[in-house]
């Protein structure tokens, strides 16, 4: 159970989240200049930092510097994905996926913020679904899914990460945010947004390839 704390820092979380997205965008732009051989080491570093963030989660705090370094690296590692879809279907599909993600994310966030329902009970279900998705992703690495299977996987991703937006906003509303928790809460929203974006981009890419 989270302690009852103030919600006055929710705007700070949202501002920090927005700034994190801007830094990730700069990272993606910088990805153009990163040698291909460095992407795997950067992905490993990103994973290690993410695991460290989950460790510090128990202490309810990570630093702003940690957040911004992570989101910049995350933006760099996002570049190959974005570049792939731009090459395959054009920049319009990436912009359409980003716009759709923004609309979906904002709509769910507003609903969670205004709803009297506490959606924090979803945590266990979402974690189980996320672990299942990770298992499927590992399986897909060795035995690639068909386009139909990947489409279904991507739709599940949209549901799961939309659920996490609902969960994270609701948790902040009902249990509040301490000042030291702002970077961590912003990181949660950033991960929700980026994973939702990747899922939606994959859906658009698969549908476009069938046209």
Q: For 157-166, what is each residue's pLDDT tens digit?
A: 999 999 999 9
Interval 138-153: pLDDT, tens: 999 899 999 999 999 9
Distance CA 195, CA 62 (A): 21
* Residue ranges covered by each domain of the chain: 10-210
Return d(Cα 117, Cα 40) in angstroms, integer: 42
3-state SS assignment for residue 45:
helix
What is the SS3 assignment for 54?
helix
- pLDDT number for residue 4: 43
Q: For residues 17 and 6, what is the distance between their CA atoms, to the nearest angstrom?
A: 19
> Under a CB-based contact definition with an 8 Å cutoff, are residues 74 and 197 in contact?
no
Contact yes or no for 204/97 (Cβ under 8 A): yes
Q: Which two tokens stand for residue 14?
A: 């949202």
Q: Does the pTM of the predicted model rise above 0.85?
A: yes
């Amino acid at each position: 159970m989270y302690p009852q704390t103030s919600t006055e820092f929710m705007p700070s979380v949202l501002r920090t989240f927005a700034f994190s997205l801007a830094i990730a965008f700069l990272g993606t732009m910088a990805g153009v200049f990163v040698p291909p051989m460095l992407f795997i080491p950067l992905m490993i570093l990103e994973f290690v930092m993410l695991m460290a963030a989950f460790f510090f989660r128990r202490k309810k705090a990570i630093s702003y510097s940690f957040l911004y370094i992570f989101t910049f690296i995350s933006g760099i590692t996002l570049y190959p994905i974005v570049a792939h879809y731009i090459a395959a279907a054009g920049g319009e599909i990436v912009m359409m996926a980003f716009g759709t993600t923004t609309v979906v994310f904002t709509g769910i966030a507003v609903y969670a913020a205004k709803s009297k329902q506490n959606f924090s009970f979803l945590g266990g279900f979402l974690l189980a679904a996320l672990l299942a998705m990770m298992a499927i992703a590992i399986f897909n690495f060795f035995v690639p899914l068909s386009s139909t299977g990947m489409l279904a996987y991507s739709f599940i991703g949209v549901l799961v990460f939309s659920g996490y937006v609902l969960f994270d906003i609701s948790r902040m509303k009902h249990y509040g945010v301490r000042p030291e928790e702002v970077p961590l809460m912003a990181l949660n929203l950033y991960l929700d947004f980026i994973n939702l974006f990747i899922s939606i981009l994959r859906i658009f890419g698969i549908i476009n390839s069938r046209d």
